[in-house]
Structure 1
């Protein structure tokens, strides 16, 4: 299967605090993604970057 989303070394910082730090993954077409973690782990920030509502500080997101 071809990748629908490729995330490479994604980082998002707010001031001196990293909300998302060096996240990489590939999501194939037709796949589902679940994001679990404690409060403040960066789940919403990651999803906002995937939805292009926020820009990453570093790294790249490729949407097919």
Structure 2
């Protein structure tokens, strides 16, 4: 199965369900990259350690 990143239209529906960034402390990684990374692993069936670096560290 071929993986395609989330489109802007799809992201528009997902973003409101995510919690806001914390006011204090360390900020979270880019939410869109994290979700695309999770979807990449689920759709392609690759191992977390084989995930492309553009989605963050495994």
After TM superposition, is the score higher than 0.5? no
Q: What is the TM-score with the length of structure 2 in the denominator?
A: 0.26
Per residue, is there more helix in 1 or in 2?
2
Q: What is the TM-score with the length of structure 1 in the denominator?
A: 0.24
